[in-house]
Structure 1
Amino acid sequence: MKKYTPVDLSKIKTYSAKKRETKVELGSFAKTGSKGSSFKKFYASLPDFLAASSLKQVVSAIIKANQKKRPVILGMGAHAIKVGLNPIIIDMMKQGIINCIALNGAGAIHDFEVATLGRTSEDVGEGLKSGMFGMVEETLRDINQSIRISEDQSIRGMGHQLGHRLLQMKAPHRKLSILAAGAELDIPVTVHVAVGTDTVH
């Protein structure tokens, strides 16, 4: 086994913490809420750095876009669906806050499963081990049947097709589907698939 020379630490330089610029200071910490306080106060108390800062920037941009009558397009994958945010997203669609949604292929698959099965998101590790990942018959069959080229020229793409199919088949949980909400509200929900990246395509 090769012998290693110990690292020479004699040239390491340090400097005082007083001179270091930092992103986090006590004055910017979040404040705890009190009983009966509003969500507005809680939101205002969130710190203005990292994820909370990003959230505030997004909220501000959405408000400005709505005030200027500009469209708000939500680009998203499957994770928001898998953590149960569909009701909030659909409510924002109904209120006219979100005017278009662009999903990736996985987003469409999980949303379709939510609408038809009432559950989604299999254990990938176990599925890969057994060779059965992505082999749920109903999902594969129903999505592929739904996206076949339609003679109906009013259908405007995969998202529109899937959303209308969920409404036509009276999917039991369609009220919690972003695709179905888009079809029902006439809000574009586009699906951007890539061959080989999803279980269906």
Structure 2
Amino acid sequence: MEDKNVKIPGQLDFSNIKTYPVSQRKNLVTIDNMAVPDRDPIPDWDQEGFDELIGRMAEARQNGRAVIWSMGAHVIKNGLSRYIIELIKRGLITHISGNGACSIHDFELAFNGGTSEDVPTAIEDGSFGMWEETGRWMNEAIRQGAAKSLGYGESLAVYIDKHPERFPYKEDCILYQAYKNDVPATYHIALGTDIIHQHPIVDFEAIGKASGIDFHKYCYSVSRMDEGVFLNFGSAVIGAEVFLKALSIARNLGYPTYHITTANFDIIDLGDYQAKIGYDDPHYYYRPRKNIVNRPTSMGGKGWHFCGDHKQTIPNLYKRLTEKLPEVERGVKDYL
């Protein structure tokens, strides 16, 4: 059997990396400053097409069609997890997807009640990301889950379920609540981008296997989103690229995925995002514009780009959608 601890010339050995207790860290985001749905005031925000999007989301769920929610980590860092959890519980989201950072901030909130370190100071001495509990527990969870052919998101949720004493704040964990409500939560990992990849026990084979399983789950959901909705919040690279590949796979296999609605939410103002632009325009290289809003809807459906802070857009989406469609009885009409 191959010894994974054998040192290979030309590769840096991680075994002597120093880690620190997460209790020593100052957290910029905590459970105490997370937003509370149906209590906190809704900020003023609106854009053309937003009400139509809400109508399409409500119609999709009434007809048992998919509503896939893709996001970057700043949704969680902005304290908005409870809005997403409430939408999951009400049956208004059928799939959650994110990058590795999403899973880390979500996981840290569940056990630590706080997340998000001060990167500018921590990078100066090499302590950035070197948190023992985060790295050890997440890598343990992924390795154990991969050994059982579980996906990345499910591996973390199962680990939380097995160690409830370690996770006093699991009720505010998106991936855990998705698991408890039978909603897939998939995480699409770029190796070397996440702090748990810095930990001495990191197992890249297990990470690759678990994230690969999640991609297969994600492709399944995308293949069944005809007359459904895809939403992306702030994931400018991973979310856009994974969606385009999954959509191509679905269409290659003959699944009807042309009558779809897509919407991208971000703080970047694209102006006329439907206009054709060339290589000399920097907006051409903004992936969500092409990969979420325009190209997937070129043969049917409709795509929007909404400009706004997540603290504006997500509460407004929650309020208008739950007013229009308070909840859906899952397991009866679902197309998935």
Assess same fold via TM > 0.5. yes
List alignment gaps of at least 5 residues for structure 1. 1-41
Aligned partner letter, 1:187: V
List alignment gaps of at least 5 residues for structure 2. 1-41, 198-336
Does residue 67 of structure 1 match 2:62? Answer: yes
- Secondary structure (helix, strand or coil) at the match of 1:89 reads helix
Aligned partner letter, 1:162: L
CA offset at residue 108 of structure 1?
0.2
What is the match of residue 230 of structure 2?
Answer: none
What is the match of residue 124 of structure 2?
Answer: 129
Q: Distance in 1 between matches of 2:67 and 2:176?
A: 19
Kindly indicate whether the alpha-carbon contact (under 8 Å) linking 1:160 and 1:182 is maintained by their aligned counterparts in 2. Answer: no
What is the match of residue 194 of structure 2?
Answer: 198
- TM-score by length of structure 2 reads 0.43
Q: Distance in 1 between matches of 2:161 and 2:79?
A: 20
Aligned partner letter, 1:191: Y
What is the match of residue 167 of structure 1?
Answer: 161
- Secondary structure (helix, strand or coil) at the match of 2:194 reads coil
CA offset at residue 110 of structure 1?
0.4
Q: Hey, which bits of structure 1, 4+ residues long, moved more than 6 A?
A: none
- TM-score by length of structure 1 reads 0.70
Aligned partner letter, 2:168: P
Q: Alignment identity in percent? A: 39
CA offset at residue 127 of structure 1?
1.2
Aligned partner letter, 2:190: A
Change (3 A) 1:151 1:106: closer
What is the match of residue 95 of structure 2?
Answer: 100
Q: Distance in 2 between matches of 1:62 and 1:71?
A: 9
Matching of residues 1-201 of structure 1 within 5 Å:
47=46, 52-53=47-48, 55-150=50-145, 153=148, 156-170=150-164, 171-201=167-197
CA offset at residue 65 of structure 1?
1.5
Residues 34-86 of structure 1 show CA distances to partners (whole Å, capped at 9, x for unaligned) of xxxxxxxx89x855xxxx33654543332231132211110011111111111
Comparing both chains, which one has the higher relative contact order based on Cα–Cα distances under 8 Å and sequence gaps of 6 or more? 2
Change (3 A) 1:128 1:54: farther
Q: Distance in 1 between matches of 2:192 and 2:67?
A: 30
Q: Distance in 1 between matches of 2:52 and 2:160?
A: 34
